[in-house]
Structure formats: structure tokens, C-alpha cells
Structure 1
Amino acid sequence: MADHVLIHGGGCSPWHWHLLEAELRRRGHRTVAVDLPCEDESAGLDDYAEAIAAAAAGLTDPVLVAHSLAGISAPLACTRLPAGLLVLLTAMVPAPGEPPAEWWAATGHEAAVRAAALARGEDPDQADLFFADLPSGLAREAGARLRGQADAPFGDPWPLEAWPDVRTAFLLCRDDRFFPAPFIRRVVRERLGITPAETPGGHFAMLSRPRELADRLEALAPSR
């Protein structure tokens, strides 16, 4: 069985992992959902990385699963702990020296999101980018559980000169409206030089498709 360290995205909380945690634990895996200091205006990237490393303390070769904004901080944590695998789940992929605030323009994110919405026949300014594939009640609770996201980590240049020496996989969510599939395939190819694995579901596939996501994680990290 594997130890999974689940790292939430910007303004989220450990709650957003609860359905995937239940599925992984049902299969015999251990899980730890990190609580990042996302509302702390004094917490920078170093503090996020330290929170991840502290949550993973004592685990053997853990699988780090980094969602969305956590793609920025999880690689930094891999320089502080002996991770067995880093899975970027529909996540941002940083570049050396690039502040996260500049990631959006550097990757062409806004244009990609608008193009995807227009292709679906939707108004880009009205589209639900996060919870469209969730049942209405779960979508309301997921939105209510969002927290504020401080600006502090966005201004720090990403400090590593190269990607850390850790086995890395990218898991693309095929129905993601916030990071559309064609967009994120290009970003992953350009920045990591790998082809993403794919799973059904939107940006919060851990809520909409926990069983399928657990299947994909098990395929990427076979049990010891």
C-alpha cells in the first residue's frame, strides 16, 4: 500500500480531498491531506513547502499529489523530503525564476480558457470553470468550503534552477474547464517534456470522479 500526501490548490482546504481519501483508504492506502497557509498574507512559497514537508514527516516514499496551485509548492517540498513520486493533478507547472503571478500570461491561460468556452458554446465570462461536473449539492458545498487565497506566494520567483530529482507524473483531467486539456498538454510538454496521463472529470476530479482518480493514482504508483 502507498502513503498519499494530498496537497490542495489555491483557496481550498483538506475537505476538498475527502471523497478521494475515503476511496484510497477503502483500498488500504494511507492518506494525509495537507492544510496549507493559504489565508496567511505573510506565508510565501517557502512556508507552503515547509507545511507539505511537515505533513509528510515519517512517511516512507510518499506519493505527493499536488492539485492546481500546489504544482508550484510541491516540487519545492520534494527537496526537503524523500518523495517516491510527485503527481501533478491538473496543476500549474512552474519555470525557474518565474513568479507564479506571471504564469498565467506566460502560458497563455486566459486565451485558452476563453477559446475552450466558446468551443462549448458558452459565454466565457459566465462559464462555471470549477464545479460544472459536480452534483448541485456537492458543488454548493465545495464552493462554500473555499477559503481566501493570499497573494504572498504569487510574488516570489520560483527558486529552483531545475526540476527536483523526483519521479514526476502529470495527471490531466479531460473535462477540466479551468485548465483545458489542449492547453495543459502543451504546457506540460513544453515545461516538463512529458506526456500527461489522463482521467475523466473536471478541475475538482477528486470530488466528481474519486474512484476513477484512485484507479489512475494506483496505476501511477503500484502498491509496495
Structure 2
Amino acid sequence: MATYVLIHGASSDSWFWHRVVPLLRAAGHDVVTPDLPVSDPEAGIPEYTDAAVAALGDRADADDLVVVAQSMGSFTGAALTHRVPVKLLVFLSAMAPKEGETPGQWWEATGYSQARQESDARLGLPADADVKVVFFHDVPEKIVAAAWERGEVGQSDRPFGPPPMPALPTGVPIRYLVGRDDRFFPLDFQRRTVQERLGFAPDEMEGGHLLPLAQPEAVVQRLEAYRVGAGL
């Protein structure tokens, strides 16, 4: 069994994982879902990482930690590997980090804007497509309704600035899973950036950017396969 640490992305909180958590616990795993201080104008990636370590508490020294980091959570997930003994790092629909680069620099460095414009044009999406169209297009209606009832989680600009990212850990297995129907980080863009930055092709599954909300069972199956493959 393992201790899963689930790191949410920007403008989000631990509710993002609410469909995944019971499935992992039913499989016998411990699950930690930190709430990162995304609305705090003084909190950047170091403070996000502090929050994750604090949420782990006594489990910070566990020898079975699996970190799963979604979207912008990749920067916190990568930083966390320098603070606790992570045995497996999984990036999910994520921003592939690079040593010496801040999250704010990532967008231009990866050529995101052009890739997104080309993808939107292929899909026939307007430049001002709303959040439901870009992010929630494959999420069940009742989950979308619950998200709207909870309201928007404010995101500060602070984590997009310094400090730049450290090198990814050596000796820690890294897996990368993307949705083929992701409208925010288009598939071709993900294939290219992951290959360029991490040196391997991402794994793919059906679904958009919010895979844990849209397809929790399939996500858990992938995570469990990664865990077993890592010998945990």
C-alpha cells in the first residue's frame, strides 16, 4: 500500500480530488490532499510546498509516498521531492517544469499561446471560450453544478514569479499522464513539451484537463498501475 499525496492546480483546492480519494482509500491507501494557499498574495511555490509538507505531518517521513500533481501543481509536486522522500512522481495534465524557469516563464518558453490558438482553431472554439467549454466539457453535469455552487477559488499571481524551479529529482521515477481531449493544454502541445523537457512521451487517456473530476475510476487505475510498476 502507499501514501498518495494529491496536489491540485491553480484556482483550485482539495475538492478537485473528491472523486478520487474514496477510490484510493477503498484500495487500502492513505491519502493526503493539501489545500495550497492559492489565494494568498504573499504565497509562492515555496509556501505551497510548505503547505504540502505540513499536511503530511508525521507521514512526511513515510517510505511509500506517491505524489500526484495536476496542472500548475507540477511545480509544487516537483519541489516537494526535495523536501520529503518521494518514491514516485506523477504529473497529470500538467505544466512540465524545467530547471531554472519560473511558472510565469513557462508559457512563453513552451510556445503555449500559438499551440493553444492552433488547437482552438481546429476545434472551432472562439478565443473567448468560457471556463465550462475549455475545462468542464467532459465533466458530468452534477459535478459541474457542484463546482459552480462552491464558487471560484481566487488565484494570486505570486507563484508565477521567482524562485526558479530546481532540477527534477534523480532516482525518483516520473510518470506523465495527459487527456487526449484536453482543450487547455492541447495533446500535440503536451506530447512535444514533455518529450523536450523530460525526455519521454506522455501516457494518454480519453478525457480533458480535469481528469479526476471526469473519470476518477480510470485515473485511479492508471495511478495504481504506476504504483505497482514502481514496486510500491
Conserved 8 A contact 1:13-1:145: no
Q: Give the Cα–Cα distance (whole angstroms) in 1 for the partners of residues 37 and 3 of structure 2.
A: 22
User: How big is each residue's C-alpha offset from its partner over 1:193-215, in whole Å with a ceiling of 9 and x where there is no partner?
Assistant: 11211222211110100000000
Conserved 8 A contact 1:71-1:88: yes
User: How big is each residue's C-alpha offset from its partner over 1:124-169, in whole Å with a ceiling of 9 and x where there is no partner?
Assistant: 3225211110122321322444311111111114241x21222111
Q: Give the Cα–Cα distance (whole angstroms) in 2 for the partners of residues 46 and 112 of structure 1.
A: 29
Deviation at 1:117, TM superposition (A): 1.9
Which residue does the alignment assign to 2:113? Answer: 110
Tell me the amino acid that sits aligned with residue 183 of structure 1: F
Equivalent of residue 67 in structure 1, options 58, 66, 70: 70
Map 1:190-209 onto structure 2 (within 5 A).
190-209=196-215
Conserved 8 A contact 1:71-1:94: yes
2:192 equivalent to 1:189: no
2:209 is paired with a residue whose SS is coil
TM-score for the superposition, normalised by structure 2: 0.90
Conserved 8 A contact 1:93-1:187: yes
Structure 1 stretches of 5 or more lacking a match? none
Map 1:72-83 onto structure 2 (within 5 A).
72-83=75-86
Deviation at 1:26, TM superposition (A): 2.1
Which residue does the alignment assign to 1:9? Answer: 9
Tell me the amino acid that sits aligned with residue 134 of structure 1: V
Conserved 8 A contact 2:102-2:165: no
Conserved 8 A contact 1:56-1:62: no
Which residue does the alignment assign to 2:46? Answer: 46
Displacement over 6 Å in runs of 4+: none
C-alpha distance 147-182 of structure 1, shift in aligned 2 (>3 A): same
1:56 is paired with a residue whose SS is helix
Deviation at 1:92, TM superposition (A): 0.8
Tell me the amino acid that sits aligned with residue 101 of structure 2: E
Equivalent of residue 130 in structure 1, options 128, 135, 152: 135
Which residue does the alignment assign to 2:184? Answer: 178
Structure 2 stretches of 5 or more lacking a match? none
Which residue does the alignment assign to 1:90? Answer: 93
Q: Give the Cα–Cα distance (whole angstroms) in 1 for the partners of residues 187 and 213 of structure 2.
A: 18
TM-score for the superposition, normalised by structure 1: 0.93
Q: Give the Cα–Cα distance (whole angstroms) in 2 for the partners of residues 145 and 219 of structure 1.
A: 34
Tell me the amino acid that sits aligned with residue 64 of structure 1: V
Deviation at 1:87, TM superposition (A): 0.3
Tell me the amino acid that sits aligned with residue 39 of structure 1: S
User: How big is each residue's C-alpha offset from its partner over 1:23-63, in whole Å with a ceiling of 9 and x where there is no partner?
Assistant: 21222222111110101111121111111222234233211
Which residue does the alignment assign to 2:173? Answer: 167
Conserved 8 A contact 2:66-2:88: yes
Which residue does the alignment assign to 1:141? Answer: 146
Once the two structures are overlaid, the 10-residue window that deviates more, 140-149 or 84-93, is: 140-149
2:127 equivalent to 1:121: no
